Structure 1
Amino acid sequence: MADDILTRLPSHLVAEAKSLDAADPLAAYREQFVLPEGVVAYLDGNSLGRPLAATRNRLPQFVDDEWGERLIRAWDESWMELPLQLGDRIGRVALDAAPGQTTVADSTTVLLYKLTRAAVAARPGRSRIVADTENFPTDRYIVQGVAAELGMTIDWIEPDPSTGVTVTDVREKVSADTALVLLSHVAYKSAHIADLAGITAVVHDAGALVLWDLCHSVGLVPVGLDAAGVDLAVGCTYKYLNGGPGAPAFAYVAKDLQDSLVQPITGWMGHAEPFTMGPAYLPAEGMRRFISGTPPILGMLPMQDMLDLVEEAGVEAIREKSIRLTEFVADVADAALAPLGVTVASPREPQVRGGHVTLEHDAMQAAIARLWQRGVIPDFRRPRGLRAGLSPLSTSFVEVATALAHLHEILNEHEG
């Protein structure tokens, strides 16, 4: 069936997909993932990464050994330090961040709130926050909530959806009244990569702090937080770090800011001496102060297997394959899908395009429903976008070609 559907595409593109797979230095990693027969093609790795086969062993082993055998003793033996140890590993493998600046804790939403609230409090007398209208809803909602809570004003950047927020956009919005700028490194709709270092410098020139959402870049795109002088960052772990549904997020706080920030959710695990059960809150030193409640230890297990692979493959090599994958999607769209009315709504320049490509068509929502029935799984972004999310270690070029051939057949039937 796969070979039959591939006849929907020009033969040179099918040959190219097979050639790219044969020459792919990362191709062997695909076999380490769970690949059920019912999934013909998975183009949603930027929403939820595939599980690793190794995780099948890790989870029951944890139940039998650490949890079942060690029981509550495991808190003293390893679990208390796991959020910080795992945070340091994410920092080293995927963020270019020195130890002691990253922790795994809550959901992305909760961590965004913590760091947004802490950041604006660290800039007293400043009453404005800069954010953009194309950012993920949670980011916008958090900014709106904090602004309402504190009587602050939001200066909204309204970027071109296909190009994203630029240095110039930020420079035109920041002022002496700006406390915080919150942006995404990779745009969740278009995949535009913002100039993280350039924007950070502009924000600092205005005396403000910057908070980066790394959900669509961690594990995929080199980030360079320390080198860019980034203040704060948050990212999820269930996309390119394959931590599973609801896996906890991470927070990064630059070393020189940690002691001056007061996070608003002062739970017992962020206390300097959590087991004294004292009458008043005293924040711990370093990144532990950004932890609130009991860490979700079970949720931290699967991502460790993916971090092994990311560290072994290297983010630079992963990024190189990501560029080839997204370029291939654009090539197929131009050659085979454009005649059916499909347009590419992501940046054309590889250096500013992240790990997904958004394809637009008026019938896309109905087409995606039919794709899911066939075991081809992208996701839909309103009003008319198919987002092809390509996770380099688990996605093959023939898999992508197969998915787009199915899309071609469905849209061709629609046109007919």
Structure 2
Amino acid sequence: MDVFSVHKELIKDYSEYTSSLVKVRDQRIADYLKQEEDNKVRWPDPWLSLNPGFESGGTVGELAAEGVLRPECERFFRDKKHAEDPGERSLTLHRHQREALEAANTRDSYVLTTGTGSGKSLAYILPIVDRVLRHPRPGQIKAIVVYPMNALANSQHHELTKYLTWGLSRSGQKVRFASYTGQEDQEQRDQVFKRPPDILLTNYVMLEYLLTRPHERGQLRGAAQGLSFLVLDELHTYRGRQGADVALLVRRLRDACNAPELQFIGTSATMASSRTFAEAQRSVAGVASRLFGTHVKPERVIGETLRRNTDTSFPSTAELRGAVDAALAPTTTAHGYSELASDPLACWIESTFGLAEEPAEHPGAPPRLVRSPPTTLPEASRALAEATGAQGEEGRKRCEAAIQEMLQQGPPTRSRPGACPTPGGRSATRESRTERVILPSFQG
């Protein structure tokens, strides 16, 4: 799909629709509206960014072989396509997912602050499933996962269905899960307490009802005694009065379930804006400690560890000029991954749209790769024109066309040889992206 053509057609259709509603007769008003259109006041340029590459944390199969995970996890967490598919290969974890697993194994509470599409859900589902397998306790709820929206709970229910039931015999389905979101009928709600699942997916409103309705409160107390995990997804949504309500709800739940050793997990793509990640860790740890009512160590605030997909971040001027010419030259040969990763223009694009280095907190400390702030295509093309010495508006437009062409080559070559799909991803509907165009990077 040509995302730039889609965007252009979308703006064209909206513009024609809005202009068809009124016939402007006053020339001064018509000139003003034309000036607005030329200046892109109503339809500004979209922000562009690249999905980054993550450092690997090893495969689930490797962790199971090392004894970090139970052997059953290797059969559960695989790349599955349909209900009868056992999966050809186990998932490859990102480093932050492995760090989350290590944090869970210490029984410390932790917070995962990584970007959208980074597999945050797997960073708590995997350690929960592993704990359930190690300490079964049939008939008891071991983990409650709280979502701010039912759409997220429903999406996660599907992911759990895929991992814990697809391609498995009835006897091999050893971890049970259920939803209690207010969308279930009475029979389904009753079944939750007649045969308590290992993992309960809910929202904070329904969790409040579970603690206040006399009948349900008694059932929850019996089913969730000694609760092991409480997960708050999208932690940044709990602020102000709502945050105070949820903080009190968390404390009441811990008391009701007689769970003094309850392990808290929070996830969020956006929690704090700081100069360095270490500063963000301290800030997020303070917020999470107040919300959870337990101490969260700054080192247990886990961020993403990024890596470059291309070979270098500093191509020369001559290399960039040649790469721009090559991108615009007519060709029928598609780039392979290694070819694209070594292309000077692709390297420049990743540094412009994808990655930046945050300042080191201490002298001599290695720089940390972070996501670049989104930019627009015209701004990037002006920067490329300056870097290559392209002259005038024609030179800028050539640079813009070259950037578009290179970005379009990304999707067909987005996987490294032998790479596994991104684990733990959610439905694309989970976050509105009306103001940004997110283009894929050169890896899965």
- After TM superposition, the score normalised by the length of structure 2 is 0.30
Higher relative contact order, structure no. (Cα contacts within 8 Å, ≥ 6 residues apart)? 1
- After TM superposition, the score normalised by the length of structure 1 is 0.31
User: Which has the higher Rg, Structure 1 or Structure 2?
Assistant: 2
